[in-house]
Structures are given as structure tokens and as C-alpha cells.
């Protein structure tokens, strides 16, 4: 929440002896830069900070008028971003670029779940019980993990990027209940035939861990090509099933955020996709700053 501090300032007329420089007591000269909203030119008065910050009136001086200056300690709220995209839409790449540029806290429910299980937290222990039985972790457990991560100090101060979450209406409803609404919901749009082509042509180098694509990013040498492997679920049949599940879930979620959705063409080269997202986020930050400025005026 934005905050503003009000300082009590005393204006003291300087000595007009031309042979004596204007001075102030040590550590009491208040830098004019502290008053970002103060635009007018003042006569040559030295500014002294009254240490009693709770005092709202100025000490009156016989030689100087009384002014009210408000030191702006306000800061625009950080970005709160949700991003969604089908498998192979390029969402992972865009999350990396967004996080690097805007220094947001990147939160992916899957990563968060694995980390909580590994750390042995209360939520992690509950989730592990379901995972060991081969069952899906209930929404209420994952939602609490996400809620707690969004509530941490770095997320509140730096802003957050929620990656591929929420995935259902119940998850979105829970986040809204806890007060976590995004400024913007970015949806990467890629036609199904392109998504299938991207997935089916994807290959993994088991030695380096690097991901290749037989068409778009082929291996550098025949030696590397010979050792590449394909994920068991990177087949046309399985990817279409995954897309069907994704589409049925995301449509319901989009209805919850229709006022803040921005659709981006994910078929473009990754740098062009990021350029569009970058422009959107920059404009959003500028609007936040402008809104803050209008309130302070």
C-alpha cells in the first residue's frame, strides 16, 4: 500500500552578510531532493527538519513564511502478472525473459510443489501422501502453497509472475478470495497444428540436457543427433490429449479474468513475442506511476 510521510520544516532566514557564507547546523540541512513534488523556486532560506515527525504544524518564524511540504515516500505498486499457454507455446522462455527484465518473483505451481515436498513443510507432507498413492494433489493444498508464496515479503515488494496457474475455476476463485488478483493475464496463442509439430519434433540430449528440435533447432553434429532421445509423451496422440485437457481448463479460467486478458501471438520468434509482452508491461507500469502521480498532486 502506498504511504506518504509529512515532515515539519522550519525556514530560517540566512545571514545577509556578503562576506559570510550561508551555513546550517551539522546534519540538519534537509536536501531539497527529498521533496520530489516541490517545484517552485524559494527565496534563499535554509531548510531545517523538525525531528518531531508527528507534529503537523510548522514552527513560525518572524522572518520567514510558513510552507507545507510533503515528502513523497510513495511508490507505485509492483506488477502482478499471470501467464498461460499450452504445452510448447513458449511460455517457459517468456517467463525467463520477463523475470530477468522486471525482477518479478517467478512462481510455478509444479516447482513450488516439489520444493515444499523436498523441504518437508506441512503442505509438502500432505501433498507427498497423495503423490505416493499416485493421486493428484488436491486443489486446496496447492492453493495454500501458492497463497503462502504470494504472501511472502519478496513477492509483495518486487511483484510476481504466476506461471500457468490457476488452471481451474476453483483455483482462480480461491486466489480471488485471498485477494490475489493480477494486473494482467497474458495468454500465448498458438494454433494446435503448430503446437503438435513443436512437441513431436522435440528431442533431448541426455548428456548435456539441452533441448533440440529436429526442424527449428537441429543438433550441431551427427554425433549429438545419434544420442538424442524423445520423451515418452511427446507423441502426436499424447500431445493432443494434453492440449484437449489444457483447452478445457483454460477456457473456464479465462472467464474469471476477461477484464485483464491480453492475447499475444505465440507463433512469432521468441524475441518478437517478448517485445510485445515487454511493451505491454512497460505501459502498465507507466499507468501505475501516472495514477500515483495524480493521487499525489
Catalytic annotation on 242? yes
Query: In sequence order, which residues have a C-beta less than 8 Å from that of residue 34 and are 6 or more positions away?
Result: 7, 71
Question: Catalytic one among 60, 215, 227, 231?
Answer: 231
Question: Catalytic one among 80, 149, 198, 202?
Answer: 202
Distance CA 70, CA 95 (A): 39
Question: Catalytic one among 126, 167, 198, 203?
Answer: 167
Rounded to 10 deg, the angle between the 270-296 and 91-102 helix axes is: 40
End-to-end CA distance of the chain: 18
Question: Catalytic one among 91, 126, 198, 203?
Answer: 91
Catalytic annotation on 91? yes
Catalytic annotation on 80? no
Catalytic annotation on 203? no
Question: Catalytic one among 59, 242, 276, 288?
Answer: 242
Residue pair 68/245 in contact (Cβ under 8 Å)? The answer is: no
Residue pair 260/182 in contact (Cβ under 8 Å)? The answer is: yes
Which sequence positions are flagged as catalytic? 91, 167, 202, 231, 242
Amino acid at each position: 500500500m502506498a504511504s506518504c510521510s509529512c515532515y515539519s520544516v522550519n525556514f530560517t532566514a540566512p545571514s545577509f552578510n556578503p562576506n559570510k557564507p550561508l551555513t546550517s547546523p551539522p546534519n540538519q540541512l534537509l536536501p531539497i531532493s527529498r521533496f520530489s513534488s516541490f517545484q517552485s523556486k524559494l527565496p534563499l532560506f535554509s531548510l531545517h527538519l523538525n525531528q518531531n515527525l508527528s507534529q503537523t504544524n510548522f514552527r513560525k518564524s518572524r522572518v520567514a513564511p510558513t510552507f507545507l511540504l510533503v515528502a513523497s515516500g510513495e511508490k507505485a505498486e509492483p506488477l502482478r502478472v499471470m501467464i498461460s499457454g499450452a504445452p510448447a507455446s513458449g511460455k517457459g522462455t517468456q517467463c525467463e525473459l520477463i523475470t530477468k527484465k522486471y525482477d518479478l518473483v517467478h512462481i510455478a505451481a509444479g516447482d513450488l510443489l516439489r520444493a515444499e515436498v523436498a523441504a518437508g513443510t506441512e503442505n509438502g507432507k500432505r501433498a507427498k501422501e497423495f503423490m505416493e498413492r499416485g493421486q493428484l494433489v488436491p486443489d486446496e493444498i496447492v492453493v495454500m502453497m501458492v497463497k503462502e508464496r504470494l504472501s511472502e515479503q519478496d513477492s509483495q515488494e518486487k511483484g510476481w509472475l504466476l506461471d500457468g496457474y490457476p488452471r481451474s475455476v476453483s483455483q482462480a476463485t480461491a486466489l480471488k478470495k485471498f485477494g490475489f488478483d493480477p494486473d494482467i493475464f497474458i495468454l500465448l496463442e498458438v494454433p494446435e497444428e503448430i503446437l503438435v509439430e513443436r512437441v513431436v519434433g522435440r528431442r533431448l540430449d541426455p548428456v548435456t540436457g539441452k533441448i533440440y528440435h529436429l526442424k527449428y533447432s537441429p543438433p550441431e553434429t551427427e554425433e549429438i543427433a545419434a544420442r538424442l532421445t524423445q520423451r515418452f509423451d511427446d507423441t502426436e496422440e499424447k500431445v493432443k490429449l494434453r492440449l484437449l485437457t489444457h483447452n478445457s481448463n483454460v477456457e473456464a479460467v479465462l472467464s474469471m479474468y476477461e477484464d485483464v486478458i491480453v492475447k499475444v501471438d505465440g507463433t512469432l520468434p521468441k524475441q518478437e513475442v517478448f517485445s510485445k509482452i515487454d511493451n505491454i508491461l512497460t505501459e502498465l507500469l507507466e499507468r501505475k506511476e501516472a495514477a500515483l502521480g495524480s493521487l499525489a498532486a
